[in-house]
Amino acid sequence: MTGIQVTERVPDQFITSADAFEVVDISPNMLIQRLKAGKVYKKERLETAFSNFFTYENLTELRELTLRTVADIMSQKGQQYKTKHTDITPHIAVAISGSIYNERVIREARRAAYKEHAKFTAVYIDVFETPSESRKQDHYVHKNLMLAKALGAEIKVLYAQDIAKALTDWCDLAFVTKLVLGQSEQPRWKDYFKQSLIEQINHVPHHFKLEIVPIHYIHSDKPTNTPKQAQKSSRLTVEIMKMLVIQTICVLLGIWVYNLDKSESSAIILLMFFIGIIVLSIWTQSYLIGFFASILNVFVFNYFFTVPRFTLEMYRFEYPITFATSIFASIFTSAILKNLKHQHSLTERQLYRTNIMLQFNQSIKESYSIERLLNIAGDQIHQLLNQDVTVFLIQSKKVAASNSFGNRSISSSDKTHDAETLSWVIENESRAGKLTDTFPGSKFLCIPIGTNPVKGVISIRFTDETYIDTYDNSILDSMLNDITLAIENVDLLKQTRQSILKAEREATRSNFLHSISHDIRTPLTSIMGNLDMLKYHNEHLNDQQQAELLTASYGEAQYLHTLVTNILSLTKLESSDIQIQRTPYLVEELLEEFEEGLIRRHQANHVIIENEDDASLINIDSKLILQVLFNLIDNALKHAESHSEIKLHVQHETNKIKFEMIDCGKGIPEEERQLIFNPYYSGDNFKDNKKDSLGLGLYLVQLILKQHNSELEYQPNTPQGSIFYFYLTVNPIEMEGAMDENNIIGR
């Protein structure tokens, strides 16, 4: 507007996010008077200010811009209070290129979209350039795409050879109302060979407006002999040498054929030169080499193999036509082969990346763990970008686990920068590091996975390349979207399962409390009634009746004790952070304590203990294992016939101690054998003279044995009854001692 390049910049969002505006307006003449009075600048700087920026024309333009901008912002803020909408929504698109001047075009398009309250889209057409050509622009393409995204644009990447047609077709399909393009100055002679993009679009029917942003080149003092130019010159020299080698081979073979048959050799020699063009097109990359080789072939053939030989003279009428046809055929063939070679390399590249994407999608479908999903993503991204990748599993905003993919070593300073970037990403749930505005000096690009909170972070370490090309970037975005969705689904599934388990647990607890209230009140009432009789009516009871009341009260108290012990043990074992204390214990001592408990419980007459073990040590929590044995005894007594015996059989089997509880009761029906270890399952096979069970005994036994790395198992007894058995591992210390003893005996 003023023709002066201003380096200071205030983001548009800083202005548009304000709730209110206050315009301090002053006429240009009054501002100039204040300047002359020294109220704005010091007097020694006035001459420079008046000669450059603070002219009447510039101040007038800036004043109009200020008033117009404020009016536009207030108009936009007023739109949210309007309920009437038009059928056509403004949609402004800007074309992204690899030009260093494309930034200005993007900013102009953003301002136009803001003024017109339009949807803003940045579109880039990938024409599948060769890697050498692509590397020159990919850095600027990525930079311009990131700028457009930061300015609020939706990014769209298309793949086509014809830029004008692809851009026009997409704009019509997306209902674009205005397309913003940059127009750079170029020499007139280039227009004769290729039309500009704007002219190509104008020749294609379309339904949108074109806005042209003129681009003026900025003079640069960069040296001309850059490494890239030197590399390009070196590659061109190599390809010229290849061309000369093939030409030499063709000449030598042609001379050999010419000497064999001078009259009929022309067609064969021309065919050999044509084959040389084909080989050269496959062997080299430059289109110009094939073009020059096609022309050079004609002159070489004319010099060596047409009469008069070793001159460039031609006397036959058909020679010019033959040579012109040969040049055209060679150039056409070279161009076709170059294009086929290029398409083949692109197809291989796309197939490789498509295969990576298919493997990735297949892998995440078969994974139901967040850590596993992150590892799959890290491995596939490493294969896609060929860069070192580290994945971090985040729990409670802290790194719970990490895994690296790649072989390059990381310095301590890089690890420090990576840790800083990682912490920022976890806290702010946004990308940071390389290729971003946050920690841009870092060698790592950290990408958060999941939100509220972050479930994981993928860190990509860039070494040689400082950008991701558009095709890789689109695949990377697809991978990140898929992995984020998969992780969110896994997390949602986990939450759903937890909700279901919580609901089931609450329902079970409610039923349990309802049942336990009856099972506690009944024996308490019986005990209180018996004690009341003994206290207040003792004189009316004989000794036998008093003994019967005491025995009944003791039985009820013992039932209550077992019930409360089971409930407390169950609550303790169901706690996720419980750690039982296991110590070496003699099997013989364990059985002695068990027998003493049977005597106290008046159950010794019903149980036979058979011990075939010779003083083995086992690592156990003795109180819990005794509770296992007593629960199995109580379970057997409930299901066994009156006066039937119950056998506890203990034997040593291959570094393990086997405990078997054998009864001769009715047994367990086959359809109930998978249910007996479930909590609160009691079945229907109880004797009428026994109390109903809460169904906690066997479930509690199973929990205790799992804490001892064992499991309770069932098998039917013959001819009837049940056998419950489990194994406990022999203490390794005792096993080593036994081995030493055997060695001594062997000696």
Which pLDDT score, from 0 to 100, does residue 219 have? 46
Measured between alpha carbons, how far is 147 from 152 in angstroms, rounded to an integer? 9
Lowest mean pLDDT among 143-157, 516-530, 645-659, 700-714: 516-530
Task: Report which of 291, 296, 300, 301 is spatially closest to residue 333, judged by C-alpha positions.
Answer: 291
In words, the CATH class of domain 367-468 is: alpha beta
Task: Write the pLDDT tens digit of every residue in 22-60.
Answer: 778 788 888 777 777 777 767 666 666 666 667 777 788
Task: Report which of 270, 271, 274, 290 is spatially closest to residue 282, judged by C-alpha positions.
Answer: 290
Lowest mean pLDDT among 52-61, 90-99, 220-229: 220-229
Which pLDDT score, from 0 to 100, does residue 84 have? 47
Task: Write the pLDDT tens digit of every residue in 328-342.
Answer: 777 777 778 777 877
| Cβ-based neighbour number of residue 134 at 10 Å | 17
Q: What percent of the chain has pLDDT over 70?
A: 79
Any bridge partners for residue 653, and if so which? Answer: 656
Q: Residue 316 — pLDDT band, cuts 50, 70, 90?
A: low
Task: Write the pLDDT tens digit of every residue in 705-745.
Answer: 888 889 999 999 888 889 999 999 887 655 455 444 444 33
Highest mean pLDDT (candidates 100-104, 128-132, 432-436):
100-104
Whether the per-residue pLDDT at 672 is higher than 50: the answer is: yes
Q: Residue 236 — pLDDT band, cuts 50, 70, 90?
A: confident
**Omega within 30 of 0 (cis) for the link into 187:** no
Residue, of 211 and 509, whose pLDDT is higher: 211
Tell which CATH architecture fits domain 580-738: 2-Layer Sandwich (3.30)
Whether the per-residue pLDDT at 14 is higher than 60: the answer is: yes
Angle (CA) 146-150-152 rounded to 5° is 120
CA atoms within 13 A of residue 224's CA, in its CB half-sphere:
1
Task: Report which of 32, 24, 26, 39 is spatially closest to residue 55, judged by C-alpha positions.
Answer: 32
Q: Which amino acid is at 34?
A: R
Q: Residue 170 — pLDDT band, cuts 50, 70, 90?
A: very high
Measured between alpha carbons, how far is 44 from 47 in angstroms, rounded to an integer? 7
Residue 79, C-beta contacts closer than 8 angstroms, at least 6 positions apart: 117
End-to-end, the C-alpha distance of the chain in Å comes to 105
User: The whole model's pTM is what?
Assistant: 0.53
| Cβ-based neighbour number of residue 709 at 10 Å | 11
3-state secondary structure of 651: strand
Highest mean pLDDT (candidates 281-285, 545-549, 693-697):
545-549
- Tokens 């270890």 -> residue: 677
Which pLDDT score, from 0 to 100, does residue 414 have? 61
Whether the per-residue pLDDT at 225 is higher than 50: the answer is: no
Q: What is the mean pLDDT of residues 170-193?
A: 81
Which pLDDT score, from 0 to 100, does residue 440 have? 81
Which pLDDT score, from 0 to 100, does residue 221 have? 44
Whether the per-residue pLDDT at 91 is higher than 90: the answer is: yes
8 Å CB contact between 272 and 257: yes
Q: What is the DSSP string of 357-408?
A: HHHHHHHHHT---HHHHHHHHHHHHHHHH-SEEEEEEEETTEEEEEEEES--
In words, the CATH class of domain 88-216 is: alpha beta
Q: Could you tell me whether strands 444-449 and 432-433 are parallel, antiparallel, or unpaired per DSSP bridges?
A: antiparallel
Which pLDDT score, from 0 to 100, does residue 224 have? 46
Q: What are phi and psi of 446, to 5 degrees?
A: -100, 125
Which pLDDT score, from 0 to 100, does residue 659 have? 94
Whether the per-residue pLDDT at 246 is higher than 60: the answer is: yes
Which pLDDT score, from 0 to 100, does residue 742 have? 47
Which pLDDT score, from 0 to 100, does residue 409 have? 61
Measured between alpha carbons, how far is 282 from 594 in angstroms, rounded to an integer? 89
Whether the per-residue pLDDT at 689 is higher than 50: the answer is: no
Task: Report which of 280, 285, 293, 278 is spatially closest to residue 327, judged by C-alpha positions.
Answer: 293
Q: Residue 411 — pLDDT band, cuts 50, 70, 90?
A: low
Measured between alpha carbons, how far is 459 from 391 in angstroms, rounded to an integer? 6
Whether the per-residue pLDDT at 574 is higher than 80: the answer is: no
Which pLDDT score, from 0 to 100, does residue 688 have? 42
Residue, of 453 and 54, whose pLDDT is higher: 453
